[in-house]
Amino acid sequence: MKKQEEMTPDELAALTVLYTVPGMEEVTIRRDETYGTRESGPITMDVYYPPAIASGQSLPAVVIVYGYSDAGFPNVFGRTFKELGPPVSWAKLIAASGMIAILYSNREPAEDAIAVLRYVHDHAASLGIDARRIGFWSGSANVPVALWLLMQPELTVKCAALCYGYMLDVDGATGVADIQKTYRFANPGAGKSVDDVRKDVPLLIARSGRDQFPGLNESLDNFVRGALRCNLPLTLVNHADAPHGFDLFHDSETTREIVRQILSFLRFHLSA
């Protein structure tokens, strides 16, 4: 496989997670459910259901949070985020593991993430979702939006899995702000600290030991130190030999074991 930096946008858009479970291709997808509107038109979400779900059953849901606006995303990748191979394969993995997964389009990453969560909460019954059991999955430069959501006390969220992500600039660091100027992801938690993160939401943080993106592991490591200082409910998994995006680029049993661990973490914390 090519290195990430050698791949075209089309090749990156077609990647899928290097792990599969039975039933992934049998999941049911409820596409383009409108959860809000912008001047440019409706903003929608896709809801991924397990292959066999009983009528009237309410299941936990995992919202796959991302931090870029779809306003310019198709210009680069030829499709919106919710149509990309990596998040679609994660949604199928989550659904085939017995949970509901949600991917969504957006225009304003932070505001629309809140709108998705409010819509899911308000329409939980018709969506077949247990509104008390909502979790997040997020990765890479999408993580700052997920972290900001974890600072909102009014949101119903039971757990979050954050993979190889930029976190917070703390203790005078500027790595996240610096890289944001290049990649232009949303960082609504800028200026916040680990102390602002809710202490009632279990976190799983997956780290790529050989992450090549500037400042990423520095921000992640600083966050972990702060989380331990604050005694947050934290699980840290370090994939020591892997590059950024290990679930897509490091074809190994260790990768598959970590993906299984992430799914188990979500199932465990969303089980009741």
Per-residue confidence (pLDDT) for residue 81, from 0 to 100: 93
Per-residue confidence (pLDDT) for residue 71, from 0 to 100: 87
Instruction: State whether residue 141 is helix, strand or coil.
Output: helix
Percent of the chain with pLDDT over 90: 86
Per-residue confidence (pLDDT) for residue 53, from 0 to 100: 80
**pLDDT < 70 regions, the chain:** 1-2
Please provide the CATH number assigned to the domain covering 4-269: 3.40.50.1820
Per-residue confidence (pLDDT) for residue 225, from 0 to 100: 96
The Cα 239–Cα 15 span in angstroms is 20
How do the domains of the chain map onto residue ranges?
A: 4-269
> Listing from the earlier edge strand, what are the strands of the sheet with 159-163?
28-38, 41-49, 100-104, 59-64, 129-139, 159-163, 203-208, 234-239
The Cα 108–Cα 93 span in angstroms is 27
**Chain segment 201-254, per-residue pLDDT in tens:** 999 999 999 999 999 999 999 999 999 999 999 999 999 999 999 999 999 999
